[in-house]
Amino acid sequence: MVHEAESNRPPPDEPHERPEIVRPVRDSGRALQVQQASREMISRMSEPAPKSARELDSRGIIRHDMGARRQADVFRDLRTQLLAHGRGRNFITLVAGVSAGSGASFVAANLAAAFAFDESRTALLIDCNLRKPVLHERLGVRPENGGLTDFLDHPSIGVDHVIYPTGVPRLRLIPAGERREASGEYFTSYRMRGLVDLLRSRYPDRYLVLDAPPIGASPDARILSELADTAVVVAGYGVDTVSSIKEAVAVLEPGRMAGVVFNGVP
């Protein structure tokens, strides 16, 4: 799988980006009822403060009405290829950069936005970079109720408490929450596994995107990949070497690998 896209102005911690990409069967009647209920839920989803086209452009987030612009088309293509792998079921995608300069958060945010283009689907973006989270800044979300770490520390608050509207229709965000250095313990916990299973199973038309820390910086991406159905590795064009890309890909289980995105292609 190979693709290419172009970003606008990123937040301070993100590089200039432009990527190129090199269960069981259930009772059909019950499944139909669940799907219908999910779509009714989607139709009732409201966006308290929808972002304007100008603001989305300034944040480097694609829009469904960008027409034939190359940037949006690249992420549509990536989404379509991942959906083909999903074979009609919702799934969890891990997005992880080779290094801190690869631009994985840019790719994760726009992949989630592309899933949300479809009015019959929703996307939930989870910031799993607990050391250097940036998604709340990129999407202009104020995480006043905390985020992922806060829920994992105190699950009694309820997961809905830390799911935020983004201003993009049908796209929601769980920010990282309070920064943590010892992040691996969170991702190997039963609570994290239970959370991911809950978020996937609650709505069959919801697609989850996990924004992971750089693969070369810690074992977090490898640990998180065990929670995902498919993985996309982001490599910075002119930033990451061929050998570092190969090493990063080798960290993840081959059966989950969907492809490599080359980001910042001139």
Quick one: pLDDT band at residue 183, thresholds 50, 70, 90?
confident
Percent of the chain with pLDDT over 90: 62
Percent of the chain with pLDDT over 70: 82
Quick one: pLDDT band at residue 25, thresholds 50, 70, 90?
very low
Q: Is 84 exposed, middle or buried, given 0-12, 13-18 or 19+ CB atoms closer than 10 A?
A: exposed
134 touches 174 (CB < 8 A): no
DSSP state of 233: E
pTM score, whole prediction: 0.85
User: Of 73, 68, 81, which Cα lies nearest the Cα of 18?
Assistant: 73
* Predicted confidence (pLDDT) per residue in 97-118, tens digit: 999 989 999 999 999 999 999 8
Q: Which residue ranges make up each domain of the chain? A: 43-263
137 touches 176 (CB < 8 A): no
Joined tokens for residue 183: 């992040």
Spatial separation of the C-alpha atoms in residues 105 and 111, rounded to whole Å: 10
DSSP state of 252: S
Based on DSSP, count helices (H) and strands (E) in the chain, helices before strands.
10, 8
Q: What is the mean pLDDT of residues 194-217?
A: 93
Q: Does domain 43-263 have CATH number 3.40.50.300?
A: yes
* Predicted confidence (pLDDT) per residue in 158-174, tens digit: 999 999 999 999 999 99
4 touches 70 (CB < 8 A): yes
